[in-house]
Amino acid sequence: MELMINGDRRTVPAVETVAGLLAALDLDPRAVVVELNRTIIRRPTVADTPVVEGDQVEIVHFVGGG
Amino acid sequence: MELMINGDRRTVPAVETVAGLLAALDLDPRAVVVELNRTIIRRPTVADTPVVEGDQVEIVHFVGGG
Amino acid sequence: MELMINGDRRTVPAVETVAGLLAALDLDPRAVVVELNRTIIRRPTVADTPVVEGDQVEIVHFVGGG
Amino acid sequence: MELMINGDRRTVPAVETVAGLLAALDLDPRAVVVELNRTIIRRPTVADTPVVEGDQVEIVHFVGGG
Amino acid sequence: MLQIGGKDFESRLLVGTGKYRTNDEMVRAIAASGADVVTVAVRRVNLDRRDEGGILHHLDSARYFLLANTAGCYSADEAIRYARLAREAGFNEFVKLEVIGDQETLLPDVAGLLEATTVLAKEGFKVMAYTNDDLVMALRLEAAGAVAVMPLASPIGSGLGLLNPYFIRTIKRRLHVPVIVDAGVGTASDACLVMEQGVDGILMNTAIAEAADAVGMAKAMRLGVEAGRAAFLAGRMPRREVAVPSTPASGMLS
Amino acid sequence: MLQIGGKDFESRLLVGTGKYRTNDEMVRAIAASGADVVTVAVRRVNLDRRDEGGILHHLDSARYFLLANTAGCYSADEAIRYARLAREAGFNEFVKLEVIGDQETLLPDVAGLLEATTVLAKEGFKVMAYTNDDLVMALRLEAAGAVAVMPLASPIGSGLGLLNPYFIRTIKRRLHVPVIVDAGVGTASDACLVMEQGVDGILMNTAIAEAADAVGMAKAMRLGVEAGRAAFLAGRMPRREVAVPSTPASGMLS
Amino acid sequence: MLQIGGKDFESRLLVGTGKYRTNDEMVRAIAASGADVVTVAVRRVNLDRRDEGGILHHLDSARYFLLANTAGCYSADEAIRYARLAREAGFNEFVKLEVIGDQETLLPDVAGLLEATTVLAKEGFKVMAYTNDDLVMALRLEAAGAVAVMPLASPIGSGLGLLNPYFIRTIKRRLHVPVIVDAGVGTASDACLVMEQGVDGILMNTAIAEAADAVGMAKAMRLGVEAGRAAFLAGRMPRREVAVPSTPASGMLS
Amino acid sequence: MLQIGGKDFESRLLVGTGKYRTNDEMVRAIAASGADVVTVAVRRVNLDRRDEGGILHHLDSARYFLLANTAGCYSADEAIRYARLAREAGFNEFVKLEVIGDQETLLPDVAGLLEATTVLAKEGFKVMAYTNDDLVMALRLEAAGAVAVMPLASPIGSGLGLLNPYFIRTIKRRLHVPVIVDAGVGTASDACLVMEQGVDGILMNTAIAEAADAVGMAKAMRLGVEAGRAAFLAGRMPRREVAVPSTPASGMLS
């Protein structure tokens, strides 16, 4: 399926939930935060939050900063 | 008549216009600006602007400042 | 006998040596340094150094300073 | 004749006086000061001061400075 | 030549009229300062002490450009009210806009200032905005229509001089409207240093009025402003941590 | 009016003649500076490059008071020799005495300076002694007969400005002969600040000669010196850590 | 003991995690700084360069209190969005709120900052607001619910040190919430001088990360902050323009 | 590790023993300062007020290295006389040599100082010479055999801090013997800034003894000296007039 992830159009294996997407991307759900179509996905709900073709996804984590 | 002038309740000889008030107060209309009930009175209209009992009048001029 | 000690003319019990003078003044020889007639008296020699009437004596020690 | 002028050994037309030397060097006596063998030559005496083979001559003037 | 809101002024020194020991000293000091622009304030006529007339009896309004301020106003609305009253007095549409945010330091309330600037600029006022030394707010004031931005050197009446040359320099570099440093200058070297940052002018009052000799200090400030401007235009030598002789090292005697 | 060694000068700015890009620029800059006293140095005539004439062809010795320096001398004897040669050139008995103690910083050798001052004063020279900012040595130089003491603002040609206002202020307060700050000034605000310490004058060279526009900076320095002097005489306002309004707080509208 | 938003911290030095040459150097420098609070930023995961993991692999979140910033945000909305994302990461409700107003100077947009502070405080965030050195805005931020106000010493990454001690001192004197100076410190004496103004702490990053020896500078900063705090509490001697002997003048020999 | 005249000391902070409110406070402050070297002065025994004992009853001469000074001496001969008396007391051959040239400022008489240094060095004294901030004299003192040169930060007891960092930095760069800044430090940031110039140590007295809390300030000074030394060794970041983000600009959300 095609999603807009972190500003780039990407083709990923078909997934049904945010949790699935993170798994497909090999990302640790405890290490990142996901914003789906401009809505922050609370961690406990990643497994219940559906992802569909064309969704806008932002996946962020912490980096060094001052 | 009684007016509130510059924050003080004052009794002045009965006058009908702003121009009359300034005359009664012995003030040069070209040296001051009058605010009547929070409305600035344009200079050309001081003679046509009625003053009535209880009006709120502010009469200002320029002083030294930085 | 009379000596000039630390700028003042003083009468002290007759003594024969610097050591004797210090004893008479109740001063610990290890805590002070003596200058006799502008000559510093080495510590080991205080017992052998004669003091005579009218000698100029300076007796110093350490005080607080920056 | 040979003279040491301003640190360099120089051969100049034979002259007899400091005035002659300045003339030979085409220098205005009023614009320079001469030191002959470490002695300053007063201006009025340049014509009477002999110069001989091997003399040490310094000829100075004013330059820009702070 | 200093140009503000389309108007030309000879002098880059603008002066206030407050705090002088006598009106006579004020008049002589202002003359000595060479200023073209002179600030005044709007206050109630004192109906009881008639002798205490306004300031205009003492200033030649043919010679000086009178600039009304809104000193003492603590909100945008209040400052707007004073600006309108001042304009009605009919001298000109310029206003030195002050919206004070703190009574102890007399530092500006930049939010209120920006609001008042926006309103007054729309009404056709030529707003000269007294602000702090923050570049971002200076840019906003310019965008809101201020014809001049007036950052402080230090707090009003403090005489602490130019606390932050770097911020003033940065503001001047980035703005297009004239930058007039207002408040805080204490002596001539402060004025000179301020002008060396490249700004277009300085407005001061207390440093002159409270000097032991106000007239003498007014002259000193005129010279200091001219000196700083000339030095800025001339372009200073580089600073060096090693000495360099000003006299040639060659040609020494042996 | 500045008086040094019994001679009066209008201007409190003294200037050097070194390091200018052209003689023409030098002449115009010196004129713009308003200086009366101009320093020159004694060097060997260059017998091979005749075009390279001395400086006097360019300076109107009727207009300017020529002050010879002993720049480049590293001992009392050498400085004395140069002073005597300079005097023989016959302008006057004044000398700006320099005895340099270090090639990198061009800081004075104060011991050699004191020795040379003593000798030359006895010979009738009017010694203006270039020294550091040490009060004790300044007092010794005065006692040795110097007609002026010339402490540095910062090293020659550095443009670092007034490194230690406190020491300069102290020297001025304690000496009776004129104090002329020499060397280190970089721009007009430096000159203004120096004069505000109360000193009698400033001698500079590099700050003018090396400015992008030497003539413009010369004018800036003249103004800066006048501004600083005027401010010193006028007496500045006190510094305050709390603001004080320059506009009356009373008479506000309700 | 430093208390911010009801939480206690031992160290008054807060440090960033950006710009280190290596993660190892960062870890050792942070340890050497003695900091309890460490700032981090929210950025997109880089899906292509997997090696480049986030910062949390390197920081012991048991030892350090992670403070998320909103660096790089140029509007209130953007900053609010980043703050919410950071909170969702689930460490704590604190945020170092930055709303930048200018790309060249990285100076804050205080209007946007005040707006974002108001919104986030209502949502239960503990806002530590990065602002300029304006007292009036600092008071507004406190009133809007900021748990700490963070005025700058000078622009981010500039190393210019404390440009305006007077404004920082004034802000500290007037606010009730902790004042943490953020940005601009360049070396240990800057940190010491900042603390001597009485503020509650300092946050820095570049001065440590860009020092030739980051670990050594981290230690220097820890000591400098402690020194400045201790000096502030001890109460310094008065400044005097006249010397006073530290050794008794009496008891000299004759 | 600080090495002076072949002797090693842990601490780079040297302290005086004058002007304390009580001996007890002195003892606790010196302990808090971490100093190894403690200065004392030679004075006449007071034969009439016996209670007023010397200082040695209060200082553990096993713990501290006692350094006698010649404070109060106004000539080379007088200073030499005091140095010899101090040595006879038998602690060590070190002397902090002071030859004062002016009673108001307590500035050194560098000529007398150089003379006394030469004589005492020949007699085997290890001379630590209290001098002004003149590089040339510092070089002469080193050449005359001083084991340490001690330039002032500002006059004794003034608390004016480091008046001329540039001169101190230059002295340190040029000398081979240790440079210990003596006198004038007022608070911890002064001490830190002094050490950042690269000097080997600082000697102070009044700043600690006259602080509201002498023991607290002694600790602050210890930390400040360590901070400044560590920062000097670590190598500070460059100063920049343009900001540089400490957080990456990339990876922002869209």
Please report the pLDDT score of residue H53 as a whole number: 65
Residue carrying the six token digits 């006249």: G242
Task: Please report which confidence band the pLDDT of residue H52 belongs to, taking 50, 70 and 90 as the band edges.
Answer: low
Q: Name every chain D residue with its beta carbon within 8 A of the beta carbon of F41.
A: 62-65
Residue F195 has pLDDT above 90, yes or no: yes
State mean pLDDT over G188-197. 98
Q: What is the rounded distance in angstroms from the CA atom of residue F230 to the CA atom of residue F191?
A: 12
Q: Is F96 a catalytic residue?
A: yes
In contact, E142 and E175? CB cutoff 8 Å: yes
Range with the poorest average pLDDT among E13-17, E144-148, F194-198, G155-159: G155-159
pLDDT in tens, G111-161: 999 999 999 999 999 999 999 999 999 999 999 999 999 999 999 999 999
Q: What is the rounded distance in angstroms from the CA atom of residue F79 to the CA atom of residue F118?
A: 12
Residue type for H220, please? Answer: A
Residue H51 has pLDDT above 80, yes or no: no
Q: Name every chain G residue with its beta carbon within 8 A of the beta carbon of C63.
A: 247-248, 251
Q: Which of H150, H192, H197 to mutate to test the interface with G (most CBs of G within 10 A)?
A: H192
Please report the pLDDT score of residue E109 as a whole number: 97
- The DSSP call for residue H237 is P
- The DSSP call for residue F57 is T
Please report the pLDDT score of residue F57 as a whole number: 83
With a pLDDT cut of 90, the percent of chain F lying above it is 85
Please report the pLDDT score of residue F246 as a whole number: 82
Please report the pLDDT score of residue C10 as a whole number: 92
State mean pLDDT over E231-251. 89
Q: Across chain G, where does the E strand assignment appear? A: 2-4, 7-9, 13-15, 37-44, 65-69, 94-97, 126-131, 148-151, 180-182, 201-204
pLDDT in tens, H234-248: 999 999 987 888 888
Q: What is the rounded distance in angstroms from the CA atom of residue E203 to the CA atom of residue E40?
A: 12
Task: Please report which confidence band the pLDDT of residue H212 belongs to, taking 50, 70 and 90 as the band edges.
Answer: very high
Q: Which of C4, C34, C63 to mutate to test the interface with G (most CBs of G within 10 A)?
A: C63
Range with the poorest average pLDDT among E95-99, E153-157, G46-50: G46-50
Please report the pLDDT score of residue E51 as a whole number: 54
Q: What is the rounded distance in angstroms from the CA atom of residue H83 to the CA atom of residue B5?
A: 84
Query: In F, residues 185-214, which contact E (CB 8 Å cutoff)?
Result: 186-189, 191-193, 196, 205-207, 209-214
Task: Please report which confidence band the pLDDT of residue H1 belongs to, taking 50, 70 and 90 as the band edges.
Answer: confident
Nearest C-alpha neighbor of F134 from the set B22, C64, G193, H100: H100
- The DSSP call for residue G118 is H
Q: What is the rounded distance in angstroms from the CA atom of residue C6 to the CA atom of residue G251?
A: 8
Task: Please report which confidence band the pLDDT of residue F223 belongs to, taking 50, 70 and 90 as the band edges.
Answer: very high
Chain G: residue nearest E135 by CA? G107
In contact, F223 and E230? CB cutoff 8 Å: yes
Between the alpha carbon of residue C60 and those of residues B6, H43, H125, the distances in Å are: 80, 5, 20
Number of C-beta neighbours around residue H250 at 10 A: 9
In contact, G151 and G128? CB cutoff 8 Å: no
Task: Please report which confidence band the pLDDT of residue F242 belongs to, taking 50, 70 and 90 as the band edges.
Answer: confident
- The DSSP call for residue A50 is B
Residue E52 has pLDDT above 70, yes or no: no
DSSP bridge pairs for D17: D50
With a pLDDT cut of 90, the percent of chain A lying above it is 82
Task: Please report which confidence band the pLDDT of residue E39 belongs to, taking 50, 70 and 90 as the band edges.
Answer: very high
Contacts of residue G22, Cβ cutoff 8 Å, sequence gap at least 6? none
Residue G158 forms contact with A (CB below 8 Å): no
Task: Please report which confidence band the pLDDT of residue D4 belongs to, taking 50, 70 and 90 as the band edges.
Answer: very high
pLDDT in tens, E82-95: 999 999 987 799 99
In contact, C38 and C44? CB cutoff 8 Å: no
pLDDT in tens, G83-122: 999 999 877 999 999 999 999 999 999 999 999 999 999 9
Q: What is the rounded distance in angstroms from the CA atom of residue G47 to the CA atom of residue D27?
A: 85
Residue G249 has pLDDT above 90, yes or no: no
Number of H helices, E strands in chain E: 8, 10
Q: Name every chain F residue with its beta carbon within 8 A of the beta carbon of E244.
A: 156-158, 206
* Helical (H) or strand (E) element with D41: strand D39-41
Interface confidence (ipTM) of the complex: 0.90
3-state SS, residue B33: strand
Q: What is the rounded distance in angstroms from the CA atom of residue C14 to the CA atom of residue A28?
A: 99
Residue F51 has pLDDT above 60, yes or no: no
Q: What is the rounded distance in angstroms from the CA atom of residue H198 to the CA atom of residue H231?
A: 9
Mean pLDDT over all residues of chain F?
Answer: 94
Q: Name every chain G residue with its beta carbon within 8 A of the beta carbon of C5.
A: none
Q: Which residues of E are catalytic?
A: 96
Angle between helices F135-143 and F110-122 (to 10 degrees): 20
With a pLDDT cut of 90, the percent of chain H lying above it is 85
pLDDT in tens, G23-81: 999 999 999 999 999 999 999 998 887 655 678 888 888 899 999 999 999 999 999 99
Cα A28–A32–A34 angle (5° rounding)? 115
Length, in residues, of chain E: 254
Q: What is the rounded distance in angstroms from the CA atom of residue E218 to the CA atom of residue E11?
A: 13
Q: What is the rounded distance in angstroms from the CA atom of residue F124 to the CA atom of residue F95?
A: 11
Task: Please report which confidence band the pLDDT of residue F53 belongs to, taking 50, 70 and 90 as the band edges.
Answer: low
**Both tokens of residue C9?**
């003319």
Q: Which of D3, D37, D59, D63 to mutate to test the interface with E (most CBs of E within 10 A)?
A: D63
pLDDT in tens, A32-47: 999 999 999 999 999 9
**Both tokens of residue G29?**
């420098």
DSSP bridge pairs for H115: none
Nearest C-alpha neighbor of A20 from the set A53, A63, A58, A50: A50
State mean pLDDT over E212-240. 97
Number of CB pairs, chain F paired with chain H, less than 8 A apart: 62
- E164/G160 touch (CB, cutoff 8 Å), yes or no: no
State mean pLDDT over B40-52. 93
Phi, psi of A61 (to 5 degrees): -150, -175
Q: How many CA atoms lie within 13 Å of H9's alpha carbon, on the beta-carbon side?
A: 23
Q: What is the rounded distance in angstroms from the CA atom of residue F215 to the CA atom of residue F218?
A: 5
Please report the pLDDT score of residue F158 as a whole number: 92
Please report the pLDDT score of residue H243 as a whole number: 80
Please report the pLDDT score of residue E53 as a whole number: 65
Alpha helices in F67-156 (DSSP H): 76-88, 110-122, 135-143
Q: C2-5 and C56-64: which strand pairing?
A: parallel
Query: In E, residues 134-153, which contact G (CB 8 Å cutoff)?
Result: 134-137, 139-140
In contact, H158 and H147? CB cutoff 8 Å: no
Q: Which of E247, E251, E253 sits opposite D66 (nearest CB)?
A: E247
Task: Please report which confidence band the pLDDT of residue B36 belongs to, taking 50, 70 and 90 as the band edges.
Answer: very high
In contact, D37 and D55? CB cutoff 8 Å: yes
- Rounding to the nearest 10 degrees, give the CA dihedral for residues E95, E97, E103, E108: -160
**Both tokens of residue G8?**
């206690």
pLDDT in tens, H126-167: 999 999 999 999 999 999 999 999 999 999 999 999 999 999
Q: Which of G101, G154, G167 sits opposite E136 (nearest CB)?
A: G101
- The DSSP call for residue E239 is P
Alpha helices in E14-132 (DSSP H): 23-33, 76-88, 110-122
Residue E169 has pLDDT above 90, yes or no: yes
Task: Please report which confidence band the pLDDT of residue F46 belongs to, taking 50, 70 and 90 as the band edges.
Answer: confident
In contact, E132 and E108? CB cutoff 8 Å: yes
Please report the pLDDT score of residue E250 as a whole number: 84
